[in-house]
Amino acid sequence: MPPEKKIPNKAPTTRKPSPRKPAARKPATNKKKKGVLSIQLKLFIAGLLLVLLSPFYYGYVLRSFVATWRWVKDWGQDPNYKTYESFNIKIPKKYTVHGIDVSYYQGKINWPKVKEMKEDEVSIRFAFIKATEGLLLVDPYFQRNWREAPKSGIICGAYHFFRPKKDGKTQAKFFLQVVNVEKGDLPPVVDIESLDGVSPLKMRAELSDFLNYVELKTKVRPIIYTGLKFYEDYLVDFFDDYPLWIAHYYQPKLRLDKSRWKFWQHSDKAKINGIGHVVDFNAFNGDSLALDRLLVR
């Protein structure tokens, strides 16, 4: 029998223990730092609320919004013919002296409010006030306006609505019976707008009589008011020695040689504080010194 084979003993296998992953530790909360951040956040929020709730902030925002809206609204428009929201009209920008003209149509006027109104350096410096018409009509608000407007610091001038069918000299006498032209006033004005059914020759003859009589009695050369078309059709080259006040509405520029006119009535739709109806708005062709030189001495 063959001898038994001895099976060699295998050494027991030893497993190396797998390295244990260190347990993830949560970072320690820095309570002190968190507390500081919390205080800073609260201060930031409080400061932000103070700014947002401040009337100065809203004033700045509103001004910025209005300015931006104005810029957008005026895009592509003539920069010399700007919209003035307070007055509710466009006003030519190249003029620094502005005024209005009024009659009974505007009703009872609060002249101090008129004087106080201002937007972007535009304010009311002068006013032409209707006094008479034809041979018999006296404007019912003339005496009040003539008395109260100068008290508010507004320079005034009176005007007569001329009727070519009536005698020019008699109309001048009637006008001067109502109006006392004094030192510091604007020159008297004659308002001629239509032929009233007479020929241009007859109209000019009666108008000339009116002008001559008023100048004789007051020692002041009157102003002629008329519309641009009427002037071009009937008056051009006939009364060149007289100052002109021309009506020509809603235009950035008056279509007439600048050396020929003194006043430009460029709108009949102005909104003025203290007046309950729309008003004619005028620009003077010159600065404050030039206006002063025009006044009655």
What pLDDT, in 10s, does the model give residues 267-284? 999 999 999 999 999 999
- Cβ proximity of 81 and 109 under 8 Å: no
pLDDT greater at residue 71 or residue 154: 154
pTM, rounded to two decimals: 0.75
Q: Is 193 an active-site residue?
A: yes
Instruction: Report d(CA 213, CA 173) in Å as an integer.
Output: 8
pLDDT of residue 137: 98
Instruction: Report d(CA 291, CA 115) in Å as an integer.
Output: 17
pLDDT band at residue 21 under the 50/70/90 scheme: low
Q: Residue 27 above 80 pLDDT?
A: no
pLDDT of residue 48: 76
For 182-253, list the strands marked E by DSSP.
189-191, 223-227, 244-247
For β-strands 98-102 and 223-227, DSSP reports them as unpaired
Q: Is 215 an active-site residue?
A: no
H/E stretch holding 283? strand 279-284
Angle CA 132–155–162, to nearest 5: 20
- Cβ proximity of 168 and 192 under 8 Å: no
Q: Which position among 101, 133, 185, 206 bears the catalytic label?
A: 101
pLDDT of residue 252: 94
Determine the 3-state secondary structure of 137 from DSSP.
strand
Range 96-104 average pLDDT: 98
Alpha helices in 99-199 (DSSP H): 111-116, 142-151, 168-178
pLDDT of residue 47: 73
Type of residue at 3: P
- Cβ proximity of 119 and 85 under 8 Å: yes
Relative orientation angle of helices 168-178 and 200-218, to the nearest 10 degrees: 40
Q: Residue 80 above 50 pLDDT?
A: yes
62-71, 173-182, 207-216, 233-242: which has the minimum mean pLDDT?
Answer: 62-71
Instruction: Report d(CA 283, CA 247) in Å as an integer.
Output: 11
pLDDT greater at residue 28 or residue 185: 185
Q: Residue 29 above 70 pLDDT?
A: no
pLDDT greater at residue 21 or residue 153: 153
Q: Which position among 116, 193, 233, 287 bears the catalytic label?
A: 193
- Cβ proximity of 281 and 250 under 8 Å: no
pLDDT of residue 7: 46
pLDDT band at residue 74 under the 50/70/90 scheme: low
pLDDT of residue 33: 58
pLDDT of residue 42: 80
Range 122-141 average pLDDT: 98
Q: Residue 264 above 70 pLDDT?
A: yes
pLDDT of residue 5: 47
CA distances (Å), 187 to each of 129, 135, 211, 272, in order? 12, 20, 12, 24
For 97-161, list the strands marked E by DSSP.
98-102, 118-119, 122-133, 137-138, 155-161
Residue 54, C-beta contacts closer than 8 angstroms, at least 6 positions apart? none
